[in-house]
Amino acid sequence: MKLNNLAKTVVLGLAVLLASSAFASNKSTVQLHESFEVNGQQLSPGEYQVRWDGTGSSVEVSFMQGRKEIAKAWAKVVPLDKAYDYDSAVVQHDGGKATVSEIRFAGKKYALALGATEKAAMSAGAGK
């Protein structure tokens, strides 16, 4: 009986460990030095934790400060030719607005292209 409980505890512990390590791979931290916009929402300069959820090429990205979600947007996972040395955000300046268009991750050969799937997601929602 004790061995059975120990086995259950070990299996449960491994499941939690695997789930938390999978979640950890879907987050990163970026530092932005100017005000910027994400999905129409203005954000202040600062450090943001970026988390994304989803499977396949479309994911939902959240910009977090501490435990507080500041902004959310849809993104497309895009392959890169090379892995970058550090986490970074690509900021586009258009009409006086700074907008995050892509997030790149240290050691990864993919990036998140923000806004790339917004119109597709809206179209899919309108068809329901």
Query: What string of pLDDT tens digits covers the 128 residues of the chain?
Result: 565 654 555 445 544 444 433 444 589 999 999 999 998 899 999 999 999 998 778 999 999 999 999 999 999 999 999 999 999 999 999 888 899 999 999 999 999 999 865 444 443 444 43
Report if residue 20 sits inside a domain.
no
- Domain containing 109: what range? 27-126
DSSP state of 105: -
pLDDT recorded at residue 116:
64
CA dist 104 → 13, 48, 65, 77, 82 (Å): 32, 14, 19, 10, 11
Q: How many CB atoms sit inside 10 A of residue 117's CB?
A: 20
Report if residue 46 sits inside a domain.
yes
Report if residue 2 sits inside a domain.
no
Mapping DSSP to helix (H, G, I), strand (E, B) and coil, where does residue 65 land? strand
Which segments of 1-128 does DSSP mark as H helices, in order?
A: 2-24, 118-126
Question: What are phi and psi for residue 81, nearest 5 degrees?
Answer: -70, -30
Report if residue 31 sits inside a domain.
yes
Q: Could you tell me which of 94, 99, 97, 88 has the C-alpha nearest to residue 47?
A: 88
Q: How many domains does the chain have?
A: 1
